Amino acid sequence: MTSFVTTPIFYANGDPHLGHAYSGIIADIFHRFRQLTGQKNVFITGTDEHGLKIASTAQSAGTDVTKFVDTKAAVFSGLWPELDIHPDIFIRTTQQEHKDHISAVWQQLFENNDIYLGKYSGQYCVACEQFYSPRELEGNLCPVHRREVETVEEETYLFRLEKYRQRLLEYYLTHPELITPKHFQDSIVSLLQEGPLEDLSVSRINNAWGIKVPNNNEHTVYVWIDALFSYITAIQQTGNANQSISQTVHVLGKDILKFHALYWPAFLLALELPLPEKLVVHGWWTINGQKISKSNPETTVNPNTFSHQLSSDGLRYALVRQKPLFRDGNVAIEELTEVVNADLANNLANLVKRNNTLILKYFDGQLEETIKHTLDDDCEQLLASCQNELERVIHSYKEYDLYQATLILKQILDQLNTFFHQRTPWLISKGRDSQHVRNTCFVVGNILRQVVLSYAPITPRLSGSVLAEFGIDISEGLLRSSIELSAINISQSNSHFARIQLGN
Ligand SMILES: [Zn+2]
């Protein structure tokens, strides 16, 4: 069965920044993990290209709006390869098949009487292009822009959100792990328990840049239905049924939790579709202590600025190693450099280099599988301990806890480095017992292979380079939780990760 991992469908109003890259990296890691463990998984990302804000940004840039979104979509899709993010589907909400899909969705919701024409009056932030309920406002100010909202009343189509509140609540109560981490699910459950939900405005009359509402071309479909259903348009493009949304993991920032945890499942219930498998909610990054914001150019730098400094592997690793996904964190390049050098350059790549150099020099690059029958107790103990830890790494990946996975991997490497230093295999040149050295290199090499494979979803280049030295192609289904001791055959011993020097 095919499973799916998605990033949010990013709003193509500006250029991608670190926040977008973070969502993309997390989704790419989940995707690679699933592939490495033998699951067929499709990775979906894309751009949300409609709405008043895009139309007015294009206009003030003096650009035709179609050309504007073409350019932005190209910038987003062009960013991913440099970060080793490889989506299978890049969906754009301006694609004809998406427009057709949205028309069909609308038609069905309308015929079911889930959508009706009414009036909506509310507090509206022009910059957000969004209505806010009184409790979301800070005084009379938009919580995002801190500018005064306006009272706006207009004709709009409304979706009967309240009609699905009870069913949603029951669903969440019977699926307590739908949203991870759990405290986000708790917040949604209490919202649902609090009482009636206002019907949701799902069209706009003052915006021409959007998908026309069938049979009422005064209106265009508003972002909720337009953007969220792009996940299913993308699934359709893979030849799978709409029901595959039930095998879909959505990666999203906490700022868009409500859209994904309330509106989206309510729409799906209305269409009698299953709900997603999982919502993985992540926090935000500040850059040098400053919130990422369009009004602060220092924070909206191209994410490749960081990958050029840290390497793509280094950036990917640092972002998941620095904090649990759901927390907020701060990017200070010196700190990230330190952790990347300590963990990837010293702890991992350097140990691979030293161990493989010994194997090459003293054993012609070959250690037979039969060595596994001659291991001493210390080797056996190390194996048992690392085996146990590697199972916990796999478990952490499955629980979408990438931070925990990196912590355990680091512990394993600490243990391996300590073992290597206590065993002093390099003293073979000074007459150290050769069987002792052979056992050491064999055990360390075998564990390293498995460790490097476990790192592969996060650091694909480094892992690919090390595994190639061991004569292993990264391929589907390779990652298992058990260490299977086997022969080591190498013909060279390379440096796989250059220490990051700042100031490059
Ligand atoms: Zn606002």
Among residues 145, 163, 323, 410, which one is catalytic?
145
17 among known catalytic residues:
yes
The predicted structure's pLDDT at residue 255: 92
Task: Tell me how far the alpha carbon of residue 132 lies from the centroid of ligand 1, in angstroms.
Answer: 9
Task: Tell me how far the alpha carbon of residue 149 lies from the centroid of ligand 1, in angstroms.
Answer: 8
Cα gap 419→415, rounded to integer Å: 6
User: Residue 26, CB half-sphere, CA atoms under 13 Å: how many?
Assistant: 32
Task: Tell me how far the alpha carbon of residue 52 lies from the centroid of ligand 1, in angstroms.
Answer: 13
Cβ neighbors of 179 (< 8 A, separation 6 or more) are: 185, 188, 257, 261, 278, 279, 281
Among residues 20, 50, 101, 372, which one is catalytic?
20
Average pLDDT over the chain, rounded to whole? 95
Residue 129: pLDDT over 80: no
Model confidence over 41-53: pLDDT tens digits? 999 999 999 998 8
Among residues 53, 142, 282, 386, which one is catalytic?
142
Instruction: Tell me the pLDDT band of 502, cut-offs 50, 70 and 90.
Output: confident
CA dist 190 to 224, 268, 277, 369, Å?
22, 21, 21, 57
Task: Count the residues in the chain.
Answer: 504
Residue 504: pLDDT over 70: no
Task: Tell me how far the alpha carbon of residue 231 lies from the centroid of ligand 1, in angstroms.
Answer: 26
Decide if 22 contacts 325 (C-beta within 8 A): no
441 among known catalytic residues:
no
The predicted structure's pLDDT at residue 139: 86
∠ Cα 365 371 372 (to 5°)? 125
- What average pLDDT does this structure show over 348-373? 98
Decide if 416 contacts 404 (C-beta within 8 A): no
Task: Tell me how far the alpha carbon of residue 234 lies from the centroid of ligand 1, in angstroms.
Answer: 30
Among residues 40, 119, 294, 421, which one is catalytic?
294
Sign of the dihedral through C-alpha 347, 348, 353, 358: positive
Task: Tell me how far the alpha carbon of residue 206 lies from the centroid of ligand 1, in angstroms.
Answer: 18
The predicted structure's pLDDT at residue 354: 98
> Is the pLDDT higher at 32 or at 152?
32
- What average pLDDT does this structure show over 142-151? 88
The predicted structure's pLDDT at residue 125: 87
Cα gap 211→221, rounded to integer Å: 6
Residue 128: pLDDT over 80: no
Percentage of the chain modeled with pLDDT above 70? 100
- What average pLDDT does this structure show over 364-379? 98
Decide if 483 contacts 450 (C-beta within 8 A): yes
Tell me how far the alpha carbon of residue 399 is from its chain's centroid: 13
Instruction: Tell me the pLDDT band of 254, cut-offs 50, 70 and 90.
Output: very high
Decide if 90 contacts 24 (C-beta within 8 A): no
Phi, psi for 366 (deg, rounded to 5): -130, 125
The predicted structure's pLDDT at residue 26: 98
> Is 333-489 assigned to CATH 2.40.50.140?
no
- What average pLDDT does this structure show over 261-280? 98
The predicted structure's pLDDT at residue 338: 97
294 among known catalytic residues:
yes
The predicted structure's pLDDT at residue 156: 94
128 among known catalytic residues:
yes
Tell me how far the alpha carbon of residue 120 is from its chain's centroid: 35
Among residues 128, 254, 353, 436, which one is catalytic?
128
The predicted structure's pLDDT at residue 474: 87
Domain boundaries, the chain: 3-282, 333-489
Q: Which among 54, 41, 45, 48 is positioned nearest to 83, based on CA atoms?
A: 45
Neighbours of 139 (CB within 10 A): 8
The predicted structure's pLDDT at residue 110: 98
Could you say which architecture CATH assigns to the domain 3-282? 3-Layer(aba) Sandwich (3.40)
Decide if 348 contacts 325 (C-beta within 8 A): no
Which stretches of 128-270 are DSSP H helices?
Answer: 165-174, 182-194, 223-228, 230-237, 257-258, 264-270
Task: Tell me how far the alpha carbon of residue 204 lies from the centroid of ligand 1, in angstroms.
Answer: 17
Of 127-141, 187-201, 231-245, 282-296, least confident by mean pLDDT is 127-141
Residue 267: pLDDT over 60: yes
The type of residue at 449 is: R
User: Any idea what DSSP says for residue 493?
Assistant: -
Residue 118: pLDDT over 80: yes
Decide if 456 contacts 411 (C-beta within 8 A): no
The predicted structure's pLDDT at residue 295: 75
∠ Cα 103 108 114 (to 5°)? 115
Cα gap 40→34, rounded to integer Å: 7
31 among known catalytic residues:
no
The predicted structure's pLDDT at residue 476: 77
Model confidence over 352-362: pLDDT tens digits? 999 999 999 99
Percentage of the chain modeled with pLDDT above 90? 86
436 among known catalytic residues:
no
Decide if 27 contacts 10 (C-beta within 8 A): no
Task: Tell me how far the alpha carbon of residue 36 lies from the centroid of ligand 1, in angstroms.
Answer: 42
- What average pLDDT does this structure show over 89-96? 98
Model confidence over 386-439: pLDDT tens digits? 999 999 999 999 999 999 999 999 999 999 999 999 999 999 999 989 999 999
Tell me how far the alpha carbon of residue 192 is from its chain's centroid: 27
The type of residue at 290 is: Q
Decide if 487 contacts 366 (C-beta within 8 A): yes
Residue 121: pLDDT over 90: no
Model confidence over 152-167: pLDDT tens digits? 898 999 999 999 999 9
- Taking 3-state DSSP, the helix, strand and coil percentages for the chain, each rounded to the nearest 5, stand at 55, 15, 30
Among residues 119, 175, 291, 361, which one is catalytic?
291
Cα gap 155→224, rounded to integer Å: 17
> Is the pLDDT higher at 153 or at 136?
153
∠ Cα 57 59 63 (to 5°)? 100
Neighbours of 146 (CB within 10 A): 10
Task: Tell me how far the alpha carbon of residue 459 lies from the centroid of ligand 1, in angstroms.
Answer: 37
Tell me how far the alpha carbon of residue 25 is from its chain's centroid: 5
